[in-house]
Amino acid sequence: MSRGLSLLAAALLLACLLGLAVGEVLLGPADLWRGLLTGEGPGGFTLRVLRGPRVATGALAGAALGMSGAIFQSVLRNPLAAPDVMGFTAGAGLGALAVAGFGAGAGLSVTLGAAAGGAGAAVAVALLALTREGLVPLRLVLVGIGAGFTLTALTGFAMTRLPGPEAMEAQRWLSGSLAARTWGHAGQIALTALPLALLTAALVPALALLEMGDDLAAGLGLRVQRARAGLAALGVALAAAAVAVAGPVPFIALMAGPLARGALRRAGTAGPGAVLAGAALTGATIAVLADLAARAAVPGVQLPLGVMTGILGAPCLLWLLTREMERGGL
Amino acid sequence: MTGLRAENLTLAYDRRIVVEGLTLALPAGRVTAILGPNGCGKSTLLKALARLIRPQAGRVTLDGEDIHALPTRAVARRLGLLPQAPIAPEGITVGDLVARGRAPWRGLLAGWSAADEAARAAALAATGLTDLAARPVADLSGGQRQRVWIALALAQQTEHLLLDEPTTWLDLPHQIEVLALLRRLNREQGRSIVTVLHDLSLAARFADHLVLMAAGRVLAEGTPEEVLTPGALEDAFGLRALVIADPVTGTPLVVPA
């Protein structure tokens, strides 16, 4: 493992320890250590029931979002490409809400609803953006932004049809929240995201070729369209898996890739495999820290995770936009 | 039926026909330059020869076999393509970029083999980049960068090498450096080279065989002396020019009138 990835992994570990220790009940290092090792003492309950599943779910969902964003940024060769910017997470949110609204409850059906919504949004965006020259990345991003607004509006409409209490709960979930997560949620995201991450790892050589342009990649023996479709499908599925357990948390997918690239480059080279792994680590770190900030920022008030990532992510989006405009990418 | 051939080839984007009924045999073991005015279909032809576009009619054959009937990776082991604007991934080093040329030879889970390393070392040596292997590609000059891309294509170890305008954006000394490198690779390693070029006189200097195209057809092909005639230049480019012997090499030199 490279030095850059080790640093990012250390940052994640630190974020997780902070996330476990800090909250309404502050755990000292001794209590935290004892709780982690034995599950007993004042830290035991907090870790086992309150914060453990929350941090684990947040880290895994953040990792899935970070990897998803990095996939789209590489495949489309555009740092603004991410499932949240392009409306895929909004689609997944609408899909999950539709399933939950029909009273089918939580778990697998919500995951499938999120996956169907995300995939539906991705296909719709791809079809709308399709031109004679095929899929042009910038056009795809812009159409996706429009689709995201439409899907968010549809979600807002669906909310007005729900009864009051359920609408409140749905609103909380739709802004992206890790409140009251159980080990069931953590297990669900682990079981869905890990196989997807392994499949993505198998496609890293294809990603390395795609980065150099379609013609060169094809000349080096890659089936370009098939590889791109496979990677995009994995990116949508990873985002949907995260949305199913944490709601459509904005901006993590957008931020993780560029931040990971920056950190990795400062520490040496950054191949596509390292960037994907780094984006997963960074996404997990952002999710855990943002959730911690959302819990601890205002005493006595638990803000949803998505509010915090929105506050962090909006300046990051502006920074990426200005950088792209200076480079002439827009 | 050895080498690369186009048989009655018709190429189109959507319904716009770019190349129509073109038949061409590219001489094996030679340097061939494809010339012609902008938009005459030369880049499109090169892409079709490299199996990047499927012809509307006719076929491209590699040693007698239809190139679209062959598996993608098998073609990539025999025929390399350097497109017009390849993208260097951010922060990549020369050695790492050249290593990517080994893609068609590597298995999904196979590591970097001794053969891969030998091919990379030979490609770096042939292009004079051995000492720059650890440098980031972004730090290099335009001419050096073009040599890196050629080294990537060399590491692919293909018998045919197709290049689309490899000298565009380079100043004259670097254009000559790249073309001299291509000819040396042809002479020393016996690779068949096909390149799209703009500069007629440089093409005459460095290529053995010229193909002059206009409006999707082959207007003339043969040695530089046979192809670069005032009449052919008038027909292809609408250019009135004198063709004299290059005072240095004796090859045709085009002097616009």
| CATH number of the domain within which A206 lies | 1.10.3470.10
> How many domains are there within chain A?
1
Inform me whether the C-beta atom of residue A272 falls under 8 Å from chain B C-beta atoms.
yes
pLDDT, residue B15, reads 79
Mutate to test the interface with B, among A220, A223, A327 (most CBs of B within 10 A): A220
Dist. CA B112–CA B99, nearest whole Å = 9
Residue B63 and residue B98 in one domain:
no
Summarize pLDDT for B148-187 with one digit per residue, the tens: 999 999 999 999 999 999 998 888 988 998 899 999 999 9
- The domain of A56 spans 3-327
Q: What is the pLDDT of residues B45-103, one digit of tens each?
A: 999 999 999 999 999 999 989 999 999 999 999 999 999 889 888 888 999 999 999 99
Let me know if A276 is exposed, middle or buried by CB neighbors in 10 A (0-12, 13-18, 19+).
buried
Q: Select the residue of A219, A265, A269 nearest B81 (Cβ to Cβ).
A: A219
Residue of A213, A261, A271 lying closest to B83 (CB–CB): A213
Give pLDDT, residue B83. Answer: 94
pLDDT for A298: 77
Q: Are residues B13 and B64 in the same domain?
A: yes
pLDDT in tens, B2-29: 789 999 999 998 778 899 999 999 999 9
Give how far A133 is from chain B: nearest CA, Å.
9
How many beta-carbon pairs under 8 angstroms link A with B?
74
Q: Distance between CA B132 and CA B124 in Å, rounded?
A: 9
Q: How many domains is chain B partitioned into structurally?
A: 2
Based on the fold, state whether residues B149 and B167 are members of the same structural domain. Answer: no
pLDDT beyond 80 at B122: yes
Instruction: Say if the Cβ atoms of A215 and B104 lie within 8 Å.
Output: no
Residue B59 lies in a domain: yes
ipTM comes to 0.89
Output the domain CATH number for residue B163: 3.40.50.300
Residue A220 to residue B16: CA distance in whole angstroms: 28
Kindly state whether residue B232 falls inside one of the protein's structural domains.
Answer: no
pLDDT-flagged residues of chain A (< 70):
1, 101-108, 133-134, 268-269, 328-330
List the domain range (segments joined by +) for residue B45.
Answer: 1-78+158-222
- pLDDT at residue A102 in the model: 63
Q: Are B70 and B2 contained in the same domain?
A: yes
CA-CA distance, B156 to B159, in Å (whole number)?
Answer: 9
Residue B227 lies inside a defined structural domain of this protein: no
Q: Domain check: are B198 and B133 in the same one?
A: no
Q: How many Å apart are CA B178 and CA B182, to the nearest integer?
A: 6
Nearest CA to CA, how far is B74 from chain A (Å)? 8
Residue among A216, A223, A269 minimizing CB distance to B83: A216
Q: Which of residues 133-192 of A touch B (CB under 8 A)?
A: none
A195 touches chain B (CB under 8 A): no
Question: What distances in angstroms separate CA B97 from CA A200, A220, B33, B152, B168, one per listed residue?
Answer: 21, 13, 26, 7, 21
How many Å lie between the alpha carbon of A276 and the closest alpha carbon of chain B? 14
Q: Residues B174, B141: one domain?
A: no
Residues of B in contact with A219 (CB under 8 A): 50, 52, 76, 79-83
**Minimal Cα–Cα distance from B136 to chain A, Å?**
9
Tokens found for residue B122: 């030979």
To which H or E segment does residue A150 belong? helix A137-161
Angle between helix axes A272-296 and A183-202 (nearest 10 degrees) is 160
Q: Is A201 on the interface with B (CB under 8 A)?
A: no
